[in-house]
Amino acid sequence: MAACLLLLPAALAADSPKTLRSGWYLWDPYQYTVVKDDTKQLTGLDVRLVRAAFQPLGYEVTCDEVSWAQHQRDVQNGVRDIAAGAFQNAERAEYAYYSAPYRTETDVLYVRKRDATRWRFQNTDDLMRQWREKPIKLGIIDGFYYGPAVMAYINDPTNASRIVRVGNDVANFENLLAGKIDGFVIDRLVGATLVWRHGWQNQVTEVSTPVYTETIHVIFSKKTTTPELVTAFNGSIAALHQNGQYNRIVREYLLPVLLGVTVGQEWFFIVDIIGTIAFAVSGVLLAREGRYSLFGAFVLASLPAVGGGLMRDIIVNRDTPAVFSTPAYLLAVLLTVLVCFFLFRLKPFRRASGPEGKAGLEEHMLFGRITNNMAVAFFDALGLAAFTVIGVIVAVETRCQPLWLWGPLLGALTGAGGGIVRDVIRADADNPGLKGAFYAEVALIWGLIFSLFLMWFANSLDYQPAHITAAVTTTIIGGLVTRMAVFHFKIKSPMF
């Protein structure tokens, strides 16, 4: 009888659907929810990877929201079968099997920006010494593992009054901004994502020295799973790497966040605005030469500044075109047109007398000085380089595949497409964007280089925002230098 009772659960399990019970907590971009068609849907890198790995094995993974501490207790007690996003430690090894690593996390310290110099440290031991010497309120999430050094500090009874426990890191950030804590340790990518999404860039900052770096695993309850299932999962993850699905999922979730964090920084916005103004100036000068109205000048200025991006967003069916998401770019174009309009009406810039319909000698000399000015060419090249980066980012965000093809094409369309349309509207038979000028080719070249880097980066297990920032900076500098070299040496595009 006892033997029959022992066999009954196994028999029932064999007849029931192959479902694995898991949970999720707010850990953007690894685990979070989005609203689509008025329905809340769970998504994120870890969610997609785990489900994609178990699907070929015939398992469906179900998740409901639960705190990480409770999730661990549930795995230990057999209430849940698996948990994704786990560091290895001895305590968990007692009740769970570990999968092979499927990514890496680096934990960093976040503090208020005004306190950044106070918490500089050379390594984790140096940080622990500072924490012991200076009174600090530390925010933590119950059940999280922060590495042996930090855990020893947290578990020290003498520090109990200094520890503030919360359910997720949004609460940690809110406590930090409210002055309830002095700092907290968080995964570098999650911290950057939350700061970017909530617009906290000017209030908080990451202390760049890592606190803890280690591989991340899926843990399996020893009460409800077997080592054979872990082995099968490891093989399925390896297969995702081999067939390219792993890289596609990484690009879908991590690259948009990393790129968004970079281009959301103040320096990139300044570069973007400078480029927009430079493109607008080129349209204004052509409007002046062709004796367009003030409205016509605005049209010619707007097309190279925002027209390429608008065409790009329509082609990829972007939900909200970038030009509609903020008025900054159109306002920059409008102000540029108005400033130039009034400058040209000043006495030194007025048209000299000459044959009807033709500019006088004084204006021709002025126009020549401006259009051939190295400074104008420099800012125009800067805009082209920045727009190239934005075009590739849109290709990543809209999941255009293959990236090595669509990245450069959208980069060139963003940087040069508006200027080409402007010259079509002007009925310019010698459209320089299509005849002779080595311009769009610069965007194609550096768009391809940037796209290939992002494809390579998706193979890495170490996703640091600094790497993306370096790649964006390199692309901008490379595009700028290339375009200036073309301008200086008067290099032409190969003729058909």
Q: What is the pLDDT of residues 70-114, one digit of tens each?
A: 999 999 999 999 999 999 999 999 999 999 999 999 999 999 999
Residue 11: predicted pLDDT: 40
- Check pLDDT > 90 for residue 309: yes
Residue 261: predicted pLDDT: 83
> Where residue 245 falls among pLDDT bands split at 50, 70, 90?
very high
391 with 275: CB under 8 angstroms?
Answer: no
More confident residue, 169 or 364: 169
Residue 254: predicted pLDDT: 85
DSSP characters over 142-180: TT----HHHHHHHH-GGGGGGEEEESSHHHHHHHHHTTS
pLDDT in tens, 273-294: 988 998 998 888 888 888 899 9
- Written as six digits, the tokens of 461 are 């297990």
Beta pairing, strands 19-24 & 60-65: parallel
Residues in a beta bridge with 215: 104
Q: How far apart are CA 184 and CA 466, in angstroms?
A: 20
185 with 149: CB under 8 angstroms?
Answer: no
Q: Average pLDDT for residues 408-425, to the nearest whole number?
A: 92
Residue 462: predicted pLDDT: 62
In percent, the amount of the chain with pLDDT more than 70 equals 90
The domain defined by 105-214 folds into D-Maltodextrin-Binding Protein; domain 2 (3.40.190)
- Give domain limits for the chain: 19-103+216-246, 105-214, 257-489
> Where residue 37 falls among pLDDT bands split at 50, 70, 90?
confident
Identify the CATH class of 19-103+216-246. alpha beta
Q: How far apart are CA 451 and CA 402, in angstroms?
A: 10
**24: three-class secondary structure by DSSP:** strand
425 with 431: CB under 8 angstroms?
Answer: no
Amino acid residing at 217: H
Residue 423: predicted pLDDT: 84
The torsion of the CA quartet 93, 97, 102, 103, rounded to 10 degrees, works out to -20
CA distances to 72, 120, 369 from 87, rounded to whole Å, are 12, 25, 63
275 with 379: CB under 8 angstroms?
Answer: yes
> Where residue 366 falls among pLDDT bands split at 50, 70, 90?
very low
**267: three-class secondary structure by DSSP:** helix
CA distances to 270, 336, 391, 423 from 382, rounded to whole Å, are 11, 17, 14, 21
* Cβ within 8 Å of residue 71, ≥6 positions away: 23, 25, 80, 83, 143
Domain 19-103+216-246 and domain 105-214, same fold? Reply is yes
CB-count burial class (<10 Å; 0-12, 13-18, 19+) for 134: exposed
